[in-house]
Structure 1
């Protein structure tokens, strides 16, 4: 309820509208305008910085034929503009301009508009303005993105669970840890290869173009993926060290190294997506990194905990579950706080929620967060019960051990007393026969003196 109230206040009382991706703000010439003379250039202005492609502009003449234009570049206005120069002479009629750029958050955006020279064409020509999105490429690329998120959660969350919660027999989680590392490595390579056709709206076969791949390596998303690969190679040695540690505490130097690797991996997402564009970029980048880390620690840690419970030959120590409960509560708190900030930053009105794909995705995400909070509450309650039951069981075991120790002590005392009594009875029998048995309770020293007196009397 509190989260919903905060979101409503932010939606209706927040700052001006912000867009999830770059949006076209203005065109020169304007859409639908009729010019007396042919323009020399076409300039587009966007709401944020954009990246240009080899085929960012397609200009079609009134007959639907593609004009030869110069390579696209940024205009004098800066990186939020795109400009292309036209041929010196243009025939009268309506021209179609199809454009495609890459938003600062690494997502491609495209569109089209028209302008006329002299007078509009009498008939509208249906022209091929080029590709928008290839369904196969888009599906494969999104699959790789989501797989990378899940793999990062598995890698970071399992590592944090091992280092912070210290479960018994940590080697049992080695398979889970290596699965996260290997899947993240493979999905990153997959995204790097598929990046060019995804940006250009081409089919998956375009991934084999060496020229397109080289261009990808020079873009910010491509550089972020390369950095992620480098960090994963370093993380390999950290994983090996963590699994060799056993149940001992991870040294502080290795803790710092692991934390730096986790932050670096999270930055490879923040630097190439929504947080890197728009307002309050430094704050947004920090929020995005914390958001990714909180998601990874909670989701990956939960997977590690469930795997430990399933594989453990005996009951899991209550201290391990209690440590994860505190860690999960902090992670969910950070996840909600950063999610609220990012929602405020990405939306400015209720129309943005209901009228855009980003708004629809946000609603689904908020629904998922609600389920996450419910699961966290149930998990915390279950953890509390588990800790209580485990503590009670430990108390019963300790009480039983104390009782057994006392019983053993009493038994040993009785055995010693019986042995001492038996010795005294034997001594008494040697001195005075069976009639002297009641005197066995006397001290041994006087009884041992009796034979001496008897022998002296006999000699007399």
Structure 2
């Protein structure tokens, strides 16, 4: 059923392309904490393309366009095998796509980045091989079970076992790296989600074990059928046999050979394999959802680091006040920026522009963004609005404690503007 698999291949490519565009467009509202309408802002989109996740998504789009030519080439060959050059190109393309996930997620920041990046790439590739193969196997078992050779199922079973081994090894490492301590298992959201994923993976492995059992039975039945067929071909004809009447005008006719089948048990085994593979795919989708949520959740190790960076004494911190001097286009002065309460979570911002003589001044535009280099977070746009006499917002969210770089961009005319960066301390 090549047509069915062709449609499955195009569906996977199209889904990945559409989801990548969707993520790239919605990245700006996510980073700034604004509403979905911020996705239509050209400036916000340009800022997204300048961030590490935005660059990774853009590279993924470019690789998917290259993958289109690879898919077309693959489908034109039909049942023929790809040349080694095309196989190497496909492998490099798969590794490149996996790297875009590793570069945009937790693996690219924190401890042991090279090892973590390698582990993340292997994890994504192993999951793709396993779940992608399961989707193809399920399609064939549903549409044309009798046309699926037992040898093909056995080869995929061995490949799936290798993929599971890689998944377990890399998953254990990533869990240790993300948690940092046993206390984080029960004391953080990341730990709770990781426990749920572990339970789902356990169910997935149980379904995979059942599939291997059905595969073994199917291969055994097929092997017995082939053995019987070979025996029938090698048995010599009896010395004395019943004479077959000759046909008029032709040589004597021979009896037709009986068709070789896998036996009456093969359909039942294929039916059992189809049910176990369906269970694998269903649980695999749950694992993918949990993995997606985990990728957007603060790891337990980072949360512990943020807690250690917080104040040693209790009580609410005072509001953070920072003076940002500027001189551009003949205008000089300063911007007094107040963050209240100056801690992780929601903050309000008030920015007042003063002239050189200390009096209040007005500017046509004032922008403010925050970046945490230690955790590679940001820039987060504060989204300041002109309140008539000052600039402000109540919707700034800073997720982690630490030394944030606050970048203020002051425009004093149509052609004159300046950007000044200051470091502000945000406590937990």
Structure 1 length-normalised TM: 0.51
Match of 1:316 among 136, 148, 171: 148
Structure (1/2) with the larger strand percentage:
2
Match of 1:374 among 196, 200, 206: 206
Q: Which residue of 1 aligns with 2:405?
A: none
CA shift, 1:348, in A, is 2.0
Residue 101 (structure 2) pairs with residue 269 (structure 1):
yes
CA shift, 1:413, in A, is 7.6
User: SS at the partner of 1:243?
Assistant: helix
Q: Which residue of 2 aligns with 1:99?
A: none
Q: Which residue of 2 aligns with 1:349?
A: 181
Match of 1:226 among 36, 58, 66: 58
User: SS at the partner of 1:305?
Assistant: helix
Q: Which residue of 1 aligns with 2:123?
A: 291
Taking the aligned partners of 2:126 and 2:191, their CA distance within structure 1 comes to 22
Q: Which has the larger radius of gyration?
A: 1
Cα-to-partner distance string for 1:181-233 (whole Å, 9 max, x where unaligned): 00100010000000000111111121111110111011111110010001001
Cα-to-partner distance string for 1:13-53 (whole Å, 9 max, x where unaligned): xxxxxxxxxxxxxxxxxxxxxxxxxxxxxxxxxxxxxxxxx
Cα-to-partner distance string for 1:309-343 (whole Å, 9 max, x where unaligned): 22226341111011100100000000000000011
Structure 2 gaps, min length 5? 250-428
Taking the aligned partners of 1:361 and 1:323, their CA distance within structure 2 comes to 34
Q: Which residue of 1 aligns with 2:4?
A: 172
Q: Which residue of 2 aligns with 1:237?
A: 69
Aligned length: 247
Q: Does the CA-based 8 Å contact 1:336-1:369 persist in structure 2? A: no
Where do residues 190-201 of structure 1 align in structure 2 (5 Å cutoff)?
A: 190-201=22-33
Taking the aligned partners of 1:412 and 1:226, their CA distance within structure 2 comes to 78
User: SS at the partner of 2:148?
Assistant: coil
Q: Which one has more relative contact order, counting CA pairs under 8 Å at least 6 apart?
A: 1
Match of 1:214 among 46, 51, 60: 46
Structure 1 gaps, min length 5? 1-168, 420-460
Match of 2:89 among 247, 254, 257: 257
Where do residues 118-129 of structure 1 align in structure 2 (5 Å cutoff)?
A: none
Q: Which residue of 1 aligns with 2:221?
A: 389
CA shift, 1:251, in A, is 1.2
Q: Which residue of 2 aligns with 1:362?
A: 194
Q: CA RMSD in A?
A: 2.3
Structure 2 length-normalised TM: 0.54
Q: Which residue of 1 aligns with 2:322?
A: none
